Amino acid sequence: MTVCFRNQNCRLCGSAKVALGANFVPTPPGDVFASYDKLGQKEEAFPLDIFLCQNCGLIQILDVVDPAVLYGNYIYRTQASLGLSEYFRKYAEEVLAFVRPHAGSLVIDIGCNDGTLLRYFIEKGLKVLGVDPAPIAQQIASSGIEVLQHFFSADIGKEIRSGYGTPSLVTANNVVANIDDLKNLFTGIRELIGQEGCFVFETGYGLDLVDKKLLDVVHHEHLSYFTVGSLQKSLGLFGLELIHVQHSVSKGGCIRCYIQGKNGRRKVQPSVSQMIDLESHKGIEKISSFGPFNAFIHETRERLQREISALHARGEAIVGYGASVGTTTLEYLFGLSDKILYVVDDNLDRFGLYTPGHHIPVHPSQILYDRRPQLVVVFAWRYIEPILKRHQAFIREGGKFLTFLPAWKIYGDSEKIL
């Protein structure tokens, strides 16, 4: 496999009827933060444009970067995300209430990361198995959780069913969108769950991406932005059917999809048709739905360049908050790299590293008090409330925070910065 290649067809339904929805600036892999000894090495940038399948409605990035490049040094941990551990506790309860697995039956989590979700299933008296190729999977074996360190595939699905039996539940959260070969994935799921099991996956919602202008969820890891309509139209190709959907505001907007073997024992819930009706009303399956999305990108870029450049020209110190894969997208999309002195973060795994491509240093947020920058541009806008709560002293002493997603807002003693 080359480092990056472009699909010519929709990865879900296989149609060649794909149309450009939005242009993004090419970036290097957004979560591959550089160490000091790698600063002299040039990083290649890859296309990040968004396309719409005009047959099934899947929103997708057609340019695929080799997973070994994206995940070879993957350092994200579930427990490092504010509130996500508690979210997964509630998730486990809700999913089990719907699926109702037998006590002691097997639950498999694809992309189990640090095992946070699996631990909640263990608490409910279920057997568990993780599947995750990332190095972090090695670190949770000592906690008693068995992990197969592989990318999930149809072959792995067969091996699991042969060696462990048929699971009552298979989960995958913020993982399915990262997989290019969806045919292989869903074929493996069909093999694994049989007629009795249930596959539940949570993923970014294509309608929320476009409607809420969630620009920072666009990166090379997220290849697909599903809609309920695209899944309902295509899952039958793999012998599966969508039976229930829940919409959540997690990560800006996502859907939790419940899938079983075609003509399985569970009834299709009204939520499926209700969500499809909403999508039709919004026109998300039409390329014209990207008009306001593209206009927002253009207007936001112009305002950021105008106002941040004015501050920079006056010698004001401008820094960023949030060192994540989405930060890389935003830095490149809006041309902010030469205006940001450094980025702060509260995840100790990022300290001492440098942002992909631009190599902006990452520091603990304590540095805000040591260096007193005039403006902090918050890339991690979903966490603005805990960030503000944590840094009230910085605001009282004249510091200001700026968010430009989902809307432009300044937090500080004064609303005016120019």
**Does the pLDDT of residue 17 top 70, yes or no?**
yes
Q: What is the pLDDT of residue 390?
A: 95
pLDDT tier, 42 (very low <50, low <70, confident <90, very high otherwise): confident
Q: What is the pLDDT of residue 418?
A: 37
Q: When comparing pLDDT for 253 and 160, which is higher?
A: 160
Count of other CB atoms within 10 angstroms of residue 44: 13
**Does the pLDDT of residue 251 top 80, yes or no?**
no
Q: What is the pLDDT of residue 72?
A: 64
For the residues 297-315, what does the mean pLDDT come to? Answer: 95
Q: When comparing pLDDT for 113 and 238, which is higher?
A: 238
**Does the pLDDT of residue 80 top 50, yes or no?**
no
**Does the pLDDT of residue 269 top 50, yes or no?**
yes
pLDDT tier, 134 (very low <50, low <70, confident <90, very high otherwise): confident
For the residues 316-337, what does the mean pLDDT come to? Answer: 96
Domains of the chain: 78-286 (3.40.50.150), 291-411 (3.40.50.720)
**Does the pLDDT of residue 74 top 60, yes or no?**
no
For the residues 353-361, what does the mean pLDDT come to? Answer: 95
**Does the pLDDT of residue 292 top 70, yes or no?**
yes
Distances (CA, A) of 178 to 63, 221, 295, 300: 12, 5, 27, 27
pTM of the model: 0.91
